[in-house]
Amino acid sequence: MTATAPPVGEPDRTQPRNTPASPAAARLLRLLPAAVAALCGVLLYVSFPPRTLWWLALPAFAGLGWALRGRGWKAGLGLGYLFGLGFLLPLLVWTGVEVGPGPWLALVAIEAVFVALVGAGVAVVSRLPGWPLWAAALWTAGEAARARVPFEGFPWGKIAFGQADGLFLPLAAVGGTPVLGFAVVLCGFGLHEAVRAAVRARRTGRIRRSAAAAALLSVAVPVLGALAARPLVNAEAEDGTATVAVIQGNVPRAGLDFNAQRRAVLDYHARETERLAAEVEAGKADRPDFVLWPENSSDIDPFANADARAVIDRAARAIGAPISVGGVVERDGKLLNEQILWDPAKGPVDTYDKRQIQPFGEYLPLRSLIGAINDEWTSMVSQDFSRGTEPGVFTMAGTEVGLVTCYEAAFDWAVRSEVTDGAQLISVPSNNATFDRSEMTYQQLAMSRVRAVEHSRTVTVPVTSGVSAIIMPDGRITQKTGMFVADSLVQEVPLRSSQTPATRLGVAPEIVLVLVAAGGLGWAVAAGVRGRRAGGV
């Protein structure tokens, strides 16, 4: 009787295995893949900011490849979930800083399901020729899904956002975060396959050329692609320069009760602007062409409150330049997270309403159900914010400034739309006071660095409590503040209008990679069906 290969997606039980010395050793061996998957998830977390250990993502995915390769989809589902927990539990701990562990654990439990499904898919395709390609595409497909569902998605933790200091960063300009993340994951899985091929060759004395070639290409192509993409990363001015001021006024106290300090926060930002104006008059600082305040810098509606309007007017006249003010505004019965273009002579002349609002922070999905579970959560978000519908590009002293408010920086479409609408510079006004001194601020800052390279634009990050920063189009931070201090940054920055391939292509690279993932999965399933039929003959 002729032995047949096991169906794709089923574990290979035809190979001889060493018999463990004892039942205890056997149990430990069975637990080893689970331990490796969880620990590799933690390793992936360690590769993310504020650490600059971007390269740890490669052994993290190499280890995941070892745990998943050749296993059935059910095992892949469980191992993928453990990898997701190891990664996301520490990465997203900041979501529970002020509201306790319940929402944090619930968010991680849901988001790790996407990683589990990817793990199942990787296990299924791991028997295909060139499996790292299909597996990396599946990871990209998982990120694409996670960025869209549920509740408009949650892209935090995209692999690209951990690569702001890495070798692969130029690939963001080629195809955005999907291509950058795909390259990292492909290289990691390829690293596992290269090590596996080397061990096999040493043990048997034979080299399987096709497998070795696939492994080497999986490692070499992403690296060579990143090197080839470096000319796309350029910080030179194309449309002249502008002198920008970023204001960080600080808040009296960290935490959710910053909303109770609304007048103090507004006064702090006006005071820091007036302090900067005095330095300009004294010749100690350059005069800015325009000024950028953070999100929630005026949670008192300046359209409805004359005192708030007077404070902003006074600050704008003192600095003698237009200001983008982050306000909370109620208009036509709708609550809006709004950026307001404030002219020193004319007052408010333009607005941008945040389009990607944060579930459970700015609006509460399933309000009645959540209220039945815990009415304290519904009281935290007593009124839902409404979504804006149009891109926000302010003309400030002749410069086209694209507004991407805080959480929106995690979403590819929200940033790209401002650039395609004519932005020469991107501003990411944010309010991170709720999250205290957690890693959230640094994770978000890394996103802005990736966006700078992706679209070849200067990116400014004004934050109420820090870290505020100025980022060049090549991803370099040239100035930044501390946390929970009042400060301002003034710098002449390059303006650019050309579009990178990533800007022009938009969602197309992601669609292609999702189709590649679907093709690999379909091939593997079809091969598995054929194998089972052949085995039954």
Contact 209, 86 (CB under 8 A): no
All residues at 6 or more sequence positions from 330 whose CB lies less than 8 Å from its CB, including other chains: 301, 304, 336
Q: Give CA–CA dist 208/421, Å, rounded.
A: 52
Contact 303, 348 (CB under 8 A): yes
Buried (b) or exposed (e) across 116-150, using 16+ Cβ within 10 A?
bbbbbbbbbbbbbebbbbbbbbbbbbbbbebbeee
Count how many Cα atoms sit within 13 Å of the Cα of residue 200 in the half-sphere of its side chain: 13
Contact 213, 190 (CB under 8 A): no
Write out the H or E segment, with its range, that includes residue 509. helix 508-536
HEC secondary structure over 168-228: CHHHHHHHHHHHHHHHHHHHHHHHHHHHHHHHHHHHHCCCCHHHHHHHHHHHHHHHHHHHH
Residue of 449, 461, 455, 454 whose CA lies nearest to 421: 455
Active-site residue list:
295, 354, 406
Contact 461, 439 (CB under 8 A): no
Residue of 31, 125, 4 whose CA lies nearest to 526: 125
Q: Give CA–CA dist 272/275, Å, rounded.
A: 5
- The beta strands (E) that lie in 344-481 are given as 347-353, 393-396, 399-403, 425-427, 458-461, 469-471, 477-480
Radius of gyration, CA atoms only, the chain:
26
All residues at 6 or more sequence positions from 464 whose CB lies less than 8 Å from its CB, including other chains: 248, 249, 250, 251, 258, 265, 269, 294, 295, 296, 297, 430, 431, 432, 433
Side chain identity at residue 504, one-letter code: R
Side chain identity at residue 61, one-letter code: F
HEC secondary structure over 122-135: HHHHCCCCCHHHHH
Where residue 364 falls (left for φ over 0; alpha for ψ -120 to 50; beta otherwise) is beta
Q: How far apart are the first and last CA of the chain?
A: 11
All residues at 6 or more sequence positions from 271 whose CB lies less than 8 Å from its CB, including other chains: 249, 486
Side chain identity at residue 231, one-letter code: P
All residues at 6 or more sequence positions from 310 whose CB lies less than 8 Å from its CB, including other chains: none
Q: Supply angle C-alpha 443, 295, 282, rounded to 5.
A: 100
Residue of 422, 387, 386 whose CA lies nearest to 403: 422
